[in-house]
Chains A and B, each alone.
Chain A
């Protein structure tokens, strides 16, 4: 992979990849960095590089979570060690801390799709390949997650 292309991928997608990995484990920066290293080591660049990175990050984070569960529950650790998933924002209608708590409270399946869709800018086809589901399932989970977030955040606007 060309270094310039890699630099652009890091600048654009590293934060969203960390957010995507943080829902499962605390070592999100290490997981994302490992994914980039594996991308560098690839003889041929994957067809969809961003989707490939999300798949690698997901697998590594889930593996990390399995080892973490032997020590303590994920929820307790997430609430203790990573209280903020977003940069504190000024003047926005949504508080970053509230958004973090709302995301942590919805189901894992819906949260994964929402994060990949909104912050990862992935299509539903790519999300379905990553999550080993169909596109319709991914779409349904996305809509369900948005409704749950609206309720939790007190937003009255309707989808579509």
Chain B
């Protein structure tokens, strides 16, 4: 049972007053520091709540980003295989003696095969030669006759290459010599054969 005493104010006696006059010894309380802390705390309470959260949130975000980058870096370091670059030297091998074929330049020069790779200037001379041979005028050129004659002649004169028998043969293909030279008459005969309904007996032949 706790009994409660209603405190009646009374004047302290002489002994209590004498004790109360003794001043307690005080030492190291930093009043300035406490006042500074109080002012700081008061200023902090006056700030809006969202401004107090800015720096903690920014700190947390920076830590999160740092941890993410570190994790990605560690993951890339663990997943990357060790790459060793080894220079592979070719194995030594016996090189067979190369047997040089006989010079075929002289043969090739006398049997030059007309191909599409013929330079533009000889082709132009060739066309002018044909044009003179057929005595074609500008009207013939416009009508396409000259073009047809030229195409047939070139197609017929294009000579097939002889197939290479084996690798030991000469690497330079030898052009076959045509059976007969391309004469004016021969060419006209070929042209007329391609023209249905054309008179074979006429001024041209």
Contact = CB atoms under 8 A, between A and B. Distances in A.
Given A18-B26, A29-B28, A118 B19 contact: yes
Contact of B25 (A11, A18, A118, A139): A18
A159 B14 CA distance: 9
Contact of B35 (A3, A41, A94, A159): A3
Given A2-B42, A40-B41, A157-B15, A92 B22 contact: yes
A64 to B, nearest CB: 15
Interface stretch (B3-11, B62-70, B111-119): B3-11
B13 interface: yes
Given A3-B35, A135-B7, A92 B21 contact: yes
A33 B34 contact: yes
A123 B7 contact: yes
Given A7-B31, A10-B29, A135-B4, A159 B13 contact: yes
A149 interface: yes
A92 B24 contact: no
Interface bracket on A: 35 or more
Given A6-B38, A124-B7, A136-B5, A33 B30 contact: yes
B41 A146 contact: no
A33 B29 contact: yes
B22 to A, nearest CB: 4
A94 B12 CA distance: 16
Given A124-B7, A134-B2, A10 B31 contact: yes
B26 to A, nearest CB: 4
A93 interface: yes
Contact of A135 (B5, B15, B27): B5
Nearest to A95: B22
A40 B38 contact: yes
Given A1-B38, A41-B41, A155-B15, A96 B22 contact: yes
Interface in A115-159: 118-119, 123-125, 134-137, 139, 146, 149-150, 155, 157, 159
Interface of B: 2-5, 7, 10, 12-16, 18-31, 33-35, 37-39, 41-42
Interface of A: 1-3, 6-7, 10-11, 14-16, 18-19, 22, 28-30, 32-33, 36-37, 40-41, 84-87, 89, 92-94, 96, 99, 114, 118-119, 123-125, 134-137, 139, 146, 149-150, 155, 157, 159-160
